[in-house]
Amino acid sequence: MPLWWPLLVASLLFAIGVYGVLSRRNAVLVLMGVELMLNAVNINFVAFDAQLRDVLHAGQTFALFTIVIAAAEVGLALAIVLLVFRTHGHIEVDELRELADRDESDLGRLDHPTAGVES
């Protein structure tokens, strides 16, 4: 199998993931985009491992490594999403702008930790 087949699949997968992260408003869908990007990388790892006939199979090892890390990451991210939903009542990513640099007139609100939570 030529190397460019899996590379093409990985590129498409990564591009879809980037598109999902950048354009989706729902935080869960953004996370799914991140997962797609991670798996595109995994395909690259495995493809090059087979192509280069690595005796230590470092590519496959790293693919497994990435899967484990990704599982942990998704667990953490979903917990955050859950908390965001509890505090804000929604998980629209483009609505979550409390960390923006504010005008000086807004600086006083930073003294209150609950600022921006009212809705």
Residues that bind another protein (CB under 8 A): 18, 21-23, 30, 93-94, 96-101
CB of 23 or CB of 61, closer to another protein? 23
Q: How far is the CB of 101 from another protein (least distance, A)?
A: 3
Instruction: Quickly count helices (H) and strands (E) in the chain.
Output: 3, 0
Q: How far is the CB of 39 from another protein (least distance, A)?
A: 18
Alpha-carbon span 4 to 65, nearest angstrom: 24
Q: Are 97 and 105 in contact (CB under 8 A)?
A: no
Alpha-carbon span 36 to 14, nearest angstrom: 6
CB of 54 or CB of 98, closer to another protein? 98
Q: How far is the CB of 61 from another protein (least distance, A)?
A: 26
Beta bridge partners of 26: 92
Q: How far is the CB of 42 from another protein (least distance, A)?
A: 20
Alpha-carbon span 15 to 32, nearest angstrom: 13
CB of 33 or CB of 59, closer to another protein? 33
